[in-house]
Structure 1
Amino acid sequence: MKTIKGPAIFLAQFSGDKAPFDSLEAIADWAAGLGYAGIQIPSWNKSLFDLDNAAESQTYCDEIKGLLADKGLEVTELSTHLQGQLVAVHPAYDAQFDGFAPLEVHNNPKARQEWAVQQVKNAAVASRRLGLKAHATFSGALAWPYFYPWPARPAGLVEDAFNELAKRWKPILDVFDENGVDAAFEIHPGEDLHDGVTFEMFLERIDNHSRANILYDPSHFVLQQLDYLAFLDIYHERIKCFHVKDAEFRPNGRSGVYGGYQSWVDRPGRFRSLGDGQVDFPEIFSKMAINDFDGWAVLEWECAIKHPEQGAAEGAPFITKHIIRVTEHAFDDFAGGGADRELNKQLMGIVDDAGRAKP
């Protein structure tokens, strides 16, 4: 068994244009001051990290690592959630998702996709230069508008969508393989990879590519009413990243899983700050330890009620409390003895007429 690394924090929900959230050095000081040991960096925010430069320059990556090391921090993973989303966009979302890309590719889905693909490939190279083993991203979605089959989907629509998704991601995953880095897809509603079944559909079409893996976030499974503990049992070999995020699901007589188009604060299923929701974190951390997960426990803060800075301050001690320092010895070793094959045979009755263990 292995002890999870942490606590760490995903910076995406905290970065902004005001101090201390407007530069990597300042936000790193803030995170370290709260007790975090690692940071997951959103690669689309150039005020924190220059992804293109990182893909080209080992010196730049070494400077980033050195700056953080001086503060007692490490980079846990880079994130291309926004760029990964743009690898596959259904036309219904073109206008909304243009905001994730530079102005020069707006209103041009082909150019936007090409930009996104190169960004994710750059992240594979940058991750290698930073000495990272895993990378956090989204799959994008072509079939998501059709997830509820009314009207009935045309035959083959989902299959064709996943064939195209695989076609787009296979060359990207090959670049991750060349750089020795795992791409961990966050299994998330809004993405074509939103549960175990859809992840398996994708794997089948990319020949079980070894670099196609999972970012595990139980909060999304609470909102879907999927068994997030059984998910760990089934897919633990593919889980390479871990977002520690809480959620709750409290259905009522007026709305349920779909939420009735309500704001987050009014939905039956909503994200919560750590400890305020329903996720069974002691069991999750136990399963992670048993399954030899050797990555980072990374807080992703999202909550419609609590202030983010309070959530961040509470997150580091919460994660620290749940990280299990795995044992090197069984609790009952003191009562055991060395292997004695002769005694074992006698205990099982494998003896001759004189009561001696049989050869």
Structure 2
Amino acid sequence: MTALFSPLTIGDLTLENRVVVSPMCQYSAVDGAAGDWHLAHLGTLANSGAGLVVVEATAVEPEGRISAGDLGLYDDATQQALARVVSFCKRNGNARMGLQIAHAGRKASSQRPWEGGGPLPAGEGAWPTCGPSALTFADGWHIPSEMQAADLERVLEAHVSTARRAVALGFDLLEVHAAHGYLLHQFLSPLSNRREDDYGGSPEARMRYPLRVIAAVRDALPNGFPLGVRITGADWIEGGLTPDDAVAFALGLRKLGVDFVCVTGGGIAPNVAPRLGPAYQAGFAETVRRGAGILTRAVGLIATPEQAQAVVAEGKADFVALGRAFLDNPHWGWQAAQALGAEVRRPPQYQRAAPAAWPGIGYR
């Protein structure tokens, strides 16, 4: 059995393998509601060979959406729309289903990437944004309001409400987004948090609000229900978060009963140039795994089966997430298993294309 295709237990959940479809925003929801695109996109990935599919960053309140096309789970309408997708994937797919929940903070109210990705103009439906401090993401972006006590409580309760809705929908795993420059990351980073109250200043104070939110989410979930957090390994900019900060945050999360972290990087400021390369962020994951003693997932330019296998086999992370590799090849997991001499389940309708049944597989 290869390391990549060995089982992994997270809380009360056991995954068939350590391949994860990373949450990838589709910017295709209508008023936060999932539609046919999500059914087709996620329905395909549910039979991709991955042990887990994590649904894209899903806003906990309308104002927390990155764009008007973002998925949401904050009322009965968005819950009903997503229920159709989750039910389909669980009935017809082999993968377990996870959900990433998020609030965009000062990066909210933006255009879809193919529309430019900048801040929404006032005449195109822009809405007020908020953050830990009244600091813009970049020149020309909306100035967020500094969150006050009522705002902090509202957003915390929104995370809790969304978590409860996710459990009711039948998701197998939940992941809180605290990276990529979104709200909880904004509290963590000294580049975006200039508060002078209990939630700003020292690293411990900057962690306080994210830890409060995640503790409340943990308390709202059933015992044994797997909870993870996507965290930042580095801001990739001088004066920003470092791998040591990631270890400290992961230690705090572990004390709360968080089961795993996914370690990524960047997003707190535009035009940051990370040192790109195959599995370029796996080193962050390894640092956190060794320093915090928590299950860790690696992400970032993991493209080939051999790269994914090496990350797990060498102990850099316990499992890996791939995004664009699955967009490029929705059956990446099947081909990775074949390349590594492993097996994954396929739907019976596709069994005739399995290696043992189709000689043509050797001629690709």
Shorter-normalised TM range:
0.5 to 0.7
Letter in 1 for 2:287: F
Contact 1:84/1:117, CA 8 A, preserved across alignment = no
Q: 2:56 aligns with which of 38, 41, 46?
A: 41
For the residue of structure 1 that corresponds to 2:329, the secondary structure is helix
Q: Which residues of structure 1 form unaligned runs of 5+?
A: 100-104, 148-156, 248-273, 302-309, 328-359
Q: Which residues of structure 2 form unaligned runs of 5+?
A: 1-5, 8-15, 60-64, 108-129, 179-183, 193-197, 268-273, 344-364
For the residue of structure 2 that corresponds to 1:10, the secondary structure is coil
Q: RMSD of the alignment, in Å? A: 5.1
Q: Output one character per residue of 1:1-47: Cα deviation in whole Å (capped at 9) or x when no partner.
A: 625254524231x33379xxx94432331344465363423212686
The corresponding residue for 1:331 is: none
Q: Output one character per residue of 1:218-239: Cα deviation in whole Å (capped at 9) or x when no partner.
A: 8998558883474375158423
**What's the CA shift for 1:88?**
5.9
Cα gap change, 1:203 to 1:286, in 2 (>3 Å): closer
Contact 1:89/1:141, CA 8 A, preserved across alignment = yes
Matched, 1:169 2:210: yes
For the residues of structure 1 that align with 2:285 and 2:241, how far apart are their CA atoms? 16
TM-score (normalizing by structure 1): 0.54
The corresponding residue for 1:65 is: 86
Pick the structure with greater CA Rg.
Answer: 1
Q: Output one character per residue of 1:195-251: Cα deviation in whole Å (capped at 9) or x when no partner.
A: 4411333356678322274113489985588834743751584235x464307xxxx
Matched, 1:127 2:140: no
Letter in 2 for 1:187: T
Count of paired positions: 267
Identity of counterpart residues, as a percentage?
6
**What's the CA shift for 1:132?**
2.6
Q: Output one character per residue of 1:249-271: Cα deviation in whole Å (capped at 9) or x when no partner.
A: xxxxxxxxxxxxxxxxxxxxxxx
For the residues of structure 2 that align with 1:187 and 1:85, how far apart are their CA atoms? 17
The corresponding residue for 1:245 is: 300
Q: 2:38 aligns with which of 12, 18, 27?
A: 27
Matched, 1:215 2:262: yes
For the residues of structure 1 that align with 2:78 and 2:329, how far apart are their CA atoms? 37
Matched, 1:285 2:312: yes
The corresponding residue for 1:8 is: 21
Cα gap change, 1:280 to 1:231, in 2 (>3 Å): farther
For the residues of structure 1 that align with 2:188 and 2:291, how far apart are their CA atoms? 23
TM-score (normalizing by structure 2): 0.53
Contact 1:10/1:40, CA 8 A, preserved across alignment = yes
For the residues of structure 2 that align with 1:311 and 1:133, how far apart are their CA atoms? 20
For the residue of structure 1 that corresponds to 2:172, the secondary structure is coil
Contact 1:85/1:140, CA 8 A, preserved across alignment = no
For the residue of structure 2 that corresponds to 1:93, the secondary structure is coil
Q: Write out aligned runs for 1:1-359 (5 A).
A: 2=7, 3-6=16-19, 8-12=21-25, 14-16=26-28, 23-33=34-44, 36=48, 38-44=53-59, 49-53=71-75, 63-72=84-93, 76-83=97-104, 89-93=132-136, 107=145, 109-110=147-148, 113-129=152-168, 130-138=170-178, 139-142=184-187, 144-145=189-190, 160-178=201-219, 179=221, 180-190=225-235, 194-202=241-249, 208-211=255-258, 213-217=260-264, 227-228=283-284, 230-231=286-287, 234=290, 237-239=293-295, 242=297, 244-246=299-301, 274-275=303-304, 280-287=307-314, 293=318, 297-301=320-324, 312-314=327-329, 316-317=331-332, 320-321=335-336
For the residues of structure 2 that align with 1:176 and 1:231, how far apart are their CA atoms? 26
